[in-house]
Amino acid sequence: MGLVALAGRALFVLVFLISVPHHFNSGVIGYAASHGLPFAGFFVPASGVIALVGALSVLVGWRARIGASLLVLFLVPVTIVMHNFWAVADPAARQMQEAMFWKNLSILGGALLVAYFGAGPWSLDDRRRWRRFRESSVIDQLTSTHGS
């Protein structure tokens, strides 16, 4: 079961990890500027850093809820600004942007699930939670034994 959660997290963040280097490419920055993104030279690389931190956080399951929230923060403006298919006149380009828009909404749904439920098993968050549980159980056992 834990392996499935780990595989799911790895597959989920793969799209972010693959795309991160592109955020530092002048062509991509120019493309974002052509979509009307102000300060694209700052926001595109910054969004790459946000995506990288969020993706790595979800992948290893360390503060995965925060990491997934970073991915949400990344996805919402990217989806609205870069995949605004409703503003595209060319039918082929419109169809491509619409597909990217719906893909991003689906990924956004996955990020919201991780933000709500956490990373699940085989994650650093899960390991930390079990450690606290075991420590509290030992303390409870010691206090109940000595208190009687």
- Per-residue pLDDT tens digits for 24-56: 999 999 999 999 999 999 999 999 999 999 999
Instruction: Work out the average pLDDT over 2-26.
Output: 97
pLDDT in the model for residue 56: 98
Return the structure tokens found at 135.
Answer: 């420590």
146 pLDDT band, cuts 50/70/90, is low
Residues in the chain: 148
Q: What is the pLDDT of residues 63-79, one digit of tens each?
A: 999 999 999 999 999 99
CA dihedral angle for residue 122, residue 23, residue 113, residue 8, rounded to 10 degrees? -40
Q: Which pLDDT score, from 0 to 100, does residue 17 have?
A: 98
What is the model's pLDDT at position 131? 76
Q: Which of 58, 69, 50 is nearest to 120 (CA)?
A: 58
The C-alpha atoms of residue 116 and residue 112 are separated, in whole angstroms, by 6
Where would I find the H helices in 83-123?
Answer: 91-117
pLDDT of residue 31: 96
Q: State the DSSP code for 121.
A: S
